[in-house]
Structures are given as C-alpha cells and as structure tokens.
C-alpha cells in the first residue's frame, strides 16, 4: 500500500520547508496531536533547493551585507526541523506494514536534506572566512595607507631629530674646543691660586708666631711689672723705715734721760 502511494507522494506539489523561527507554537501543538497526518507530509521528499536556510544571501552578493550569525541560526533551525520530521515519520512508520522500507525512505529524505544543509553550512562558513579575510586585507590596506600617509611627517620628524642631534653635537664640540683653549689659562689661574693660598698660609703662620711672641712678651712684661712693683714697694717700705728711724732719732735726745745731765 505504501509502495503504491509513494509515486503519488513524489508527484505532490513541494512546499518550502518551514523552520522553528517561522512556525507558530499552535501549529507545533496541533502537529504533535495529529502525528499521523504530519508523518505523511514528512515522508514527502524535498528538493535540495527547498532544504536550504530561508532567504540565504547569494554568493555574488557582497559579504558586507550578510548576517552570518542569522544564516547559521537558520541552518540550525532547518536541521532541527528536518530531524524532528524524521522522528515523527519514524514513529508513524511503525504503524505501517513495510516498516523498514518506510524508515529507509524517511532516512533518505533526511539524508538529502541534511546534505543540502551541510553544503549550505560549508558555503556560509567559507563566505564568512572570505569576509573576514577581506576585512583583514582592508584593515591592513588602511594601516598601510595611514603608514604611507604619515611617512612624510615621520621623515620630517626624523630629519628634525637628526638636525637637533647634530646641532647638539656641534655645540658640544665647540664647548670642548673652548675648554681646551682655556686649559692653559685655567692652569695659570690654578697655579696663581695655589701661590696665593701658599702666601696666605705663610702669612697666617707668621701672624700666629707673631701673636705667640707678643703673648709671651706680654707675659714677661707683666712679670717684670710685678717685680718692679714689688721692688718699689720694698724701697718704699725701706724709705718709710728710714724716715721713721730718723724721726725717732730726732725726737730721742729731748725725751730720753741723760746720764751726765747734759
């Protein structure tokens, strides 16, 4: 019975394969309730072009306008829908007489659809890689253009740096030459300074010696003055003693008794 119905099913008009993204939830519920009717639709072979993801971008279209993530999601939804239809058809086949033949037909349909989806997946991946490579090429070209555009400025900066370095080198050479030319004068100045310092040290030593001599002389003067003062005091004392003795001698005859009465 199934063998006779297969040619008729093969001649049935083909419908675009739906995906989970565009199938209403109410339809999925009704589908699970009427699995037998859905299984008959599942067993209908699909054309490879109808097994592709919905609204794919053509290979001639610019990759910049493609949404590869959306395309991969659509392919994944189509693959899930194909597997779901196969599972429903397989469950329905167990109610048929030719179970193996029915399952083999369902597997063949699933294989063809998955093969188309795989081919489409590979194409999307290749297009995405080509797009990324083109993006990298564009970025490299942009960086190269920016590098080439900034080359004159860099050359000017490098030239300015070289000129500044050479100017500093020349200034250093001039300073070195000036220092070399001033070396004899600096040596003479150093020698004069050393002589001046030596003279100062000699004068300082002489002043110290003179100060020490003056201090010694002052001490001797003090000692001589003290000796002179002591000598003066002794002479003054001796003079006072002689004066006192003289006064005593002058006053002595009038007051002292005379042994002979005159």
pLDDT digits (tens, 9 = 90+) for 217-260: 999 899 889 988 989 899 898 888 888 888 888 876 555 555 55
> Does 165 map to a domain?
no
Q: What's the confidence (pLDDT) of residue 12?
A: 31
- Alpha-carbon span 94 to 111, nearest angstrom: 20
- Alpha-carbon span 46 to 52, nearest angstrom: 10
The kind and range of the H/E element at 174 are helix 99-255
Domain around 17? 2-149
Q: Which residue has the tokens 């859905």?
A: 38
Q: How many residues does the chain have?
A: 262
> Does 203 map to a domain?
no
Total count of domains within the chain: 1
Q: Which two tokens stand for residue 191?
A: 């020698």
Other CB atoms closer than 10 Å to residue 235's CB: what's the count?
A: 10
Q: Cβ(101)–Cβ(3) under 8 Å?
A: yes
86 CB burial (10 A radius; 0-12, 13-18, 19+): buried
- Would you say the pTM of this structure is higher than 0.85? no
Flag whether pLDDT at 50 surpasses 50: no
7 falls in which pLDDT band (50, 70, 90)? very low
For helices 25-33 and 35-42, angle between their N-to-C axes, nearest 10 degrees: 100
What tens digit of pLDDT does each residue of 72-84 get? 999 999 999 999 9
> Does 30 map to a domain?
yes
> Does 255 map to a domain?
no
> Does 257 map to a domain?
no
Of all residues in the chain, what percent carry a pLDDT higher than 90?
37
Rounded mean pLDDT, 105-126: 95
> Does 162 map to a domain?
no
Q: What's the confidence (pLDDT) of residue 2?
A: 34
- Alpha-carbon span 124 to 50, nearest angstrom: 17
Flag whether pLDDT at 177 surpasses 50: yes
> Does 39 map to a domain?
yes
């Amino acid at each position: 019975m199934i063998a006779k119905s297969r040619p008729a099913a093969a001649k049935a008009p083909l419908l675009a394969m739906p995906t989970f993204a565009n199938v209403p939830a109410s339809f999925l519920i009704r589908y699970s309730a009427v699995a037998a009717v859905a299984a008959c639709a599942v067993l209908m072979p699909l054309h490879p072009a109808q097994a592709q993801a919905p609204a794919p971008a053509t290979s001639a279209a610019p990759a910049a306008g493609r949404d590869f993530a959306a395309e991969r999601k659509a392919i994944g939804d189509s693959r899930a829908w194909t597997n779901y239809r196969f599972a429903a058809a397989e469950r329905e086949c167990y109610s048929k007489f030719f179970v193996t033949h029915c399952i083999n037909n369902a597997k063949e349909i699933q294989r063809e659809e998955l093969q188309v989806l795989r081919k489409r997946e590979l194409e999307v991946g290749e297009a995405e890689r080509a797009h990324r490579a083109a993006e990298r090429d564009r970025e490299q070209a942009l960086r190269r253009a920016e590098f080439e555009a900034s080359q004159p400025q860099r050359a000017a900066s490098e030239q300015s740096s070289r000129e500044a370095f050479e100017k500093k080198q020349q200034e250093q050479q001039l300073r070195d030459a000036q220092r070399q030319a001033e070396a004899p004068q600096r040596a003479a100045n150093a020698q004069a300074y050393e002589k001046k310092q030596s003279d100062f040290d000699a004068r300082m030593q002489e002043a110290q010696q003179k100060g020490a001599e003056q201090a010694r002389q002052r001490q001797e003067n003090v000692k001589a003055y003290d000796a002179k003062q002591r000598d003066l005091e002794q002479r003054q004392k001796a003079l006072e003693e002689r004066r006192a003795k003289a006064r005593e001698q002058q006053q002595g005859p009038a007051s002292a008794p005379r042994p002979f009465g005159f």
